[in-house]
A and B are shown apart, each in its own frame.
Chain A
Amino acid sequence: MSIEDERCPFCGTPNPDAIRHRQDMKRFSHEFETTKDSVIKESLSAAQRTARFTIIGALVLAILITLFIFSKSWEISYWLETKAASDNYGKYSAMLDQYEADGDYLAFCSLYANSPGLSSSDSFRSYYYVYNAASSYRSALLELMKIMEPDPYSSPETEIGYLSDSVGRFYEVLSEEHYSFYEEDGCYSDTHMAAVEDMKVQLERCLQVYLNISDEEISQFDTMSKAQKQVIIERSLTENE
């Protein structure tokens, strides 16, 4: 007779062990189910807690990453622009070369200075010297143009000061030392040097015509100090008035 048999298979006497066993099993089964439910409930709760804290952690991390990107937005934009300019080197260099060949130095200067990433990209370093000259050339020409225009709010002293500064800067670029690292980049190539010389001819011609500066004086502009140039410009403008 086994523990599962409720009665003796031979004499039919009830098996007390089987009754107790059944009651025990019932109790154990109930306890098992209760424990199982409790374990499942507990593990679900733990999983939910873990999920929620993971979501909170992920959100905090995402906010920190966004704040980091926000604080570095200028650097990111700068990098993106520089990369875009380098990627479009062919297009931009063709435009710069064309402007340089046409003697359109204002357009050259504007493209180099204003097109995003051009002045910061290493790809365009060979244009640096000619841009430097074109930038001062542009300022000097625009100042000279402004002097011709009526402006009741601007004093002649201020205009003369701006023009003298711009002209002075142009000649400073012309006389600056030729650095070996720019030499390696091709900044002083024959084409670029010819363009800078052409700017000098154009600027001196405009200064002579619009300010009545003599040939002798303009030929000495190369070696004159900024103050000497300012005196000549000031005198010319006063005489013209």
Chain B
Amino acid sequence: MNRDTKLVTNIIIILLSVVLIISILITTVRIISDNSYYTYDTDSFVYALRSQHYSEMVDYKYRNESLGLKADSELQELYHVATYYETAFFYRAAMESGDTETADQCKEVMDTEAAGFGPYSYAVEEINTVLGI
């Protein structure tokens, strides 16, 4: 095997090795990204809260929970707001349709959730106004 052939084959081997490493990395990243799902962070919740789009918070909370996202204390407070809104929505429906048992259960949940609002405690009144409670 002469020196030129050696040199050429060495260059080809090096180039192919680089291409292989890059393609393995790209494939790994792609498989990982195919297996990862979007979850909503605190900012998304706060933005929805400021816009009074509470239904979005409800939707975000369920999505995060179904994907097993571990919520920190701040996110947990926003989850309380979302749960409060959802329960309050059913509370008014139960109350006005005369289902006092369900309404009482909802009220109990609402009181518990409202206690966990933290800095977002102002939202209780806003939500009650939006829902006409």
Contact = CB atoms under 8 A, between A and B. Distances in A.
Interface of A: 45-46, 48-49, 52-53, 55-56, 59-60, 62-63, 66-67, 69-70, 73-74, 76-77, 80-81, 106-107, 109-111, 113-116, 141-142, 145-146, 148-151, 202, 205-206, 208-210
Interface of B: 1, 5-6, 9-10, 12-13, 16-17, 19-20, 23-24, 26-27, 30-31, 34-35, 37, 51-55, 58-59, 62-63, 65-67, 85-86, 89-90, 92-94, 96-97, 99, 130-132
| Chain A binding surface SS class | helix
B16 A115 contact: no
B93 A148 contact: no
Contact of B23 (A66, A115, A151): A66
Given A66-B24, A107-B65, 4 more contacts: A45-B1, A59-B20, A110-B66, A145-B55
A106 B62 contact: yes
Contacts of B20: 59, 62-63, 66
Contact of B93 (A77, A113, A142, A209): A209
Given A69-B27, A146-B55, A148-B130, A56 B93 contact: no
A53 B9 contact: yes
A106 B83 CA distance: 11
B55 A209 contact: no
B34 A77 contact: yes
Contacts of A206: 89-90, 93
Given A52-B13, A63-B16, A110 B65 contact: yes
Contact of A70 (B26, B35, B54): B26
Contacts of B51: 151
Contacts of A73: 27, 30-31, 34
Nearest to A203: B93
A67 B66 contact: no
B132 to A, nearest CB: 8
